[in-house]
Amino acid sequence: MNDRQPNAPSPARASGFAGVVVLVGIASFIGGLFIAQLGGQLFKLVSNDTGDEQAVVNEADLGEDEENDIAEDSSEPALTVSTESELVVDWIDPFKQPHVTVDPVLASALCPGWDEQKEWPLCGNPLQLSQVRLGTIVGGAYDGMYLELATARTEELGFSHRMLYVLIDPLKQKNSVILDQEGRSTGESFPSLNTYTATEILGWNNVDILEDLPGYTIDITAQISDLIADESIEDAEGNRFFLSGGWVRFDSSIATSVLASENVIHLEGGQELIGYEAGEGASTQVGKNQYFLIDEDGRVLWYDLEVVFFEYATRDETPILSQGIPSITWNDGTQNTQTYMKGALGGCGFTTLTNVVSQEVVDGLRLTKAGVGTYDANATISIYEPESYEIEYFADAFNLTTWSSPDEEPLSYDAFEHAYIYFQDALGRWVELMNYELLPPVECGKPVIYLYPEETTDMTVWVSPRGGFSYTEPAYGDGWEVTAYPGGQIVNKEDGVTYPYLFWEGRGGLYPQVESYWVVEQEGVELFLESTLFSMNFTPSEIEDFLEFWLPRMESDPFYKIGFHGTAVMNELAPLSLSVRPDHVFRILMDYEGLDAWEPSDPPSYLPRANRDGFEVMEWGGVLR
């Protein structure tokens, strides 16, 4: 893609739209409701080429002739229910799992058009596809079939990885099988906590699942329990680590540095928990201060060390690993009731879940004991705080308004008790905790969700920012119960009011800084935003809404560094789901900062484009500073 904002400031401000048309982009949907929507469309697969019977789906709906027609042509794909819900795998050692030739059918499904042209804008150029043999199925209807993992690196305002787990008959006598319950998707530089099905992943690329996978069936029930990651693990010393997400295979091109660490913790059963060292040239800064395992399939699973005296905040019964209420008895005998953040802030979420500071920093803080953290009834850990905040390290810490009072004057450190506290964890690291009231008002600002069904439809819309909401309109409750109209009008059932979109603000979770960006002089910001959103296929009214909110916030600096996160990152920051499955979902989040001087741009090579057909869901937002 050509850089529409060249790496030099233009002398004058222009206006209007730049009609730049880019190639078809990525639309994604998370929500886990796809199978329910397909309930009336399941096909019966009576047998494969070897005569092995499969369980019947909707058998009563099929006449005898229809049954015979399906049975005669096993090359036609179908959704099936396996006779066994649990598959047993004889795993190959992850470090010995061989790479095999990528099946062209899978390549085409994961990256449409891969064999039709010399450039692959959707999957990047050069094209990155891989297929790895993980092991062999033992017993049951799939006995003797290979388990393989097919992965495509796809571009979408930054790269993500989409993975399918498939069963391959070594004798080529049976249809190949895609395991629907074992789909995976993760970002290039951040782990995923979300779960996906293969049909969702294929649907993101607008693949007609029942037509574009010749020689394959999709098993919607079979699962591999070995691939269910432990939510928490313990080492030999009893230290507990919480799962913070799954990532790519350890031998992927972007994971070249993860095994370089010599910081190894041995677990029972021979597993090794490795401390990730995110130094120069690191694979991902998001993994900084975390530990990882290599799973049976060779993927990296990230874990975060528990703060033993923390009562973790939760959302939907899931711990929020970046914050909690520490159980502390202060020196004066009082008990702590304040929430503290242990993650390092970045954008509208966190760049790492544990803010570890160096011994050099600690030495400069001149710490003094402030109290003790208590856990396991009688166990304690010393808690420290700075002797004084009048040092360079805290120069900007109190210059921001507080999270709870954004319209008031900034507070000084005198307004807080125990603003920053420090402790040494079980691994000897110094960890910084920041009082929640000091959180700057940097959040996912005014994400708005537009709904465009093909016909008037009642539905529920759920969005779950990892760090919670600060505001919604209309009121969120247990989700937005709405009636959506084809023209975009949304009637909220709770109050009967018509809205142009659903609006929320809040804080997201763990995610990276933007990988690509433009540097634009202030006079050109409006034209840049107009043309960029137009190229991503936003409508004039959606662009007008965007500019109305964001332009007044981008007028004080001579230059702006502007980047966008796409659907994959938004799905991690704030998972979105609907009770009625859309055909396409397109989400972006603008991340920007003001600059005093111009610097070179580093724009993405590919700009995704919304489909705008069928039932489309559109969402835009930005990092509110």
In a domain, 322, yes or no: no
Give mean pLDDT, residues 227-239.
Answer: 89
Residue 591 has pLDDT above 80, yes or no: yes
Residue 238 has pLDDT above 70, yes or no: yes
CA-to-CA separations, 47 to 56, 69, 72, 77, in angstroms, rounded: 10, 11, 9, 12
With b meaning 16 or more CB within 10 Å and e meaning fewer, what string describes 93-127? ebeebeeeebbebbbbbbbbebeeeeebbbbbeeb
- Which residue shows structure tokens 């009011």? 497
In a domain, 92, yes or no: yes
In a domain, 264, yes or no: no
Residue 545 has pLDDT above 90, yes or no: yes
* Residue that finishes a domain, picked among 172, 198, 226: 226
Residue 620 is part of which domain span? 443-624
Residue 264 has pLDDT above 70, yes or no: yes
CA angle 120, 123, 125 (to 5 degrees): 55
For 152, the token pair is 């495509």
In a domain, 271, yes or no: no
In a domain, 100, yes or no: yes
Torsion of CA 405, 406, 411, 417, to 10 degrees: 40
In a domain, 475, yes or no: yes
- Which of these ranges, 174-178, 217-221, 454-458, 511-515, has the smallest mean pLDDT? 511-515
**What's the mean per-residue pLDDT of the chain?**
78
Give mean pLDDT, residues 192-208.
Answer: 74
In a domain, 250, yes or no: no
70, exposed or middle or buried, with CB in 10 Å at 0-12, 13-18, 19+? middle
CA angle 118, 121, 124 (to 5 degrees): 90
For residue 162, the model assigns a pLDDT of 87
Query: SS3 letters for 128-173?
Result: CEEEEEEEEECCCCCCCCEEEEEEEEEECCCEEEEEEEEEECCCCC
Residue-wise pLDDT tens digits, 300-327: 999 999 999 999 877 767 778 888 899 9
Question: Which contiguous run of DSSP H or E holds residue 291?
Answer: strand 291-294
Q: Where are the alpha helices (DSSP H) in 451-524?
A: none
Q: How far apart are CA 273 and CA 260, in angstroms?
A: 13
Q: Name which of 149, 154, 161 is nearest 120 in CA terms.
A: 154
Q: What contacts 580, CB < 8 A, 6 or more positions away? A: 37, 453, 457, 459, 615
DSSP 205: T
Instruction: Give me the number of domains the chain comprises.
Output: 2
Q: What contacts 536, CB < 8 A, 6 or more positions away? A: 22, 25, 586, 588, 607, 608, 609, 610
**Residues in a beta bridge with 492:** 482
Residue 137 has pLDDT above 90, yes or no: yes
* Residue that finishes a domain, picked among 226, 252, 273: 226
* Residue that finishes a domain, picked among 226, 254, 283: 226
Whether residue 243 contacts residue 228, with contact meaning beta carbons closer than 8 Å, is answered with no
For residue 409, the model assigns a pLDDT of 63
In a domain, 3, yes or no: no
